Amino acid sequence: MGAAVLPATPGARVAGSTAGAVATAKESEVKRFRFALQGLEKVRQVRLDDARLALARTEAKRRAEEERIMRLEQKMDETSVASAREGTLDITGLLEEQRYIGELRRQRQGAIERLSQWIGAVEKDRQELLRVSKEHKALERLRERRYLEFVREVMREETQQSDETASICDQRRRMEA
């Protein structure tokens, strides 16, 4: 009796077996696993990829806003340190510096508000990725269960065919004896 050669992954071919000299057309057929929800699986994979991309883009924008805030704070620190080093008091220069620092603070405040919005968007995108990922995983588990059912069915059919072939051979031996 021949053993079934089953693929390790869904979608691969399954080789049929032949037992003894008797081979039927049914035994020579090769069964293929077909997942009925293959189209939905592809759609879910695209959605998962899109969600990952959206999260990556949002995260990049959040990081860029954080870097902008750090640059603004660095400019404010540099401006304060530069005026302290000069040592001479120039009223016009001090007023100009204060206006400049005030503008940097306004820019920083705007950047902080935008950062807050980006943090919210990142969290929203994370939740969407989590939801889409769960849907995709559920479909993967269903595919795996269906594949195992397919393998069991192929094994059952092969066992049945082997038993039938053995029975026919046994009947022939009895008739010849």
Domain map (residue ranges) of the chain:
36-148
pLDDT of residue 173: 86
Q: Is 15 helix (H, G, I), strand (E, B) or coil?
A: strand
Q: What CATH number has the domain spanning 36-148?
A: 1.10.287.1700
Question: What does the pLDDT read at residue 30?
Answer: 77
Residues with Cβ within 8 Å of residue 72, at least 6 apart in sequence: 104, 107, 108, 111
pLDDT at residue 26, rounded to an integer: 53
Displacement of CA 91 from its chain's centroid (Å) = 61
pLDDT for the residue numbered 18 = 43
> Of 59, 65, 66, 67, whose CA–CA distance to 121 is shortest?
59
Q: Which pLDDT score is estimated for 172? A: 87
Half-sphere exposure of 5 (CA within 13 A, CB side): 8
* Regions of the chain with pLDDT less than 50: 1-5, 11-25
Contact 22, 161 (CB under 8 A): no
* Residues 38, 146: Cα–Cα separation, whole Å: 12
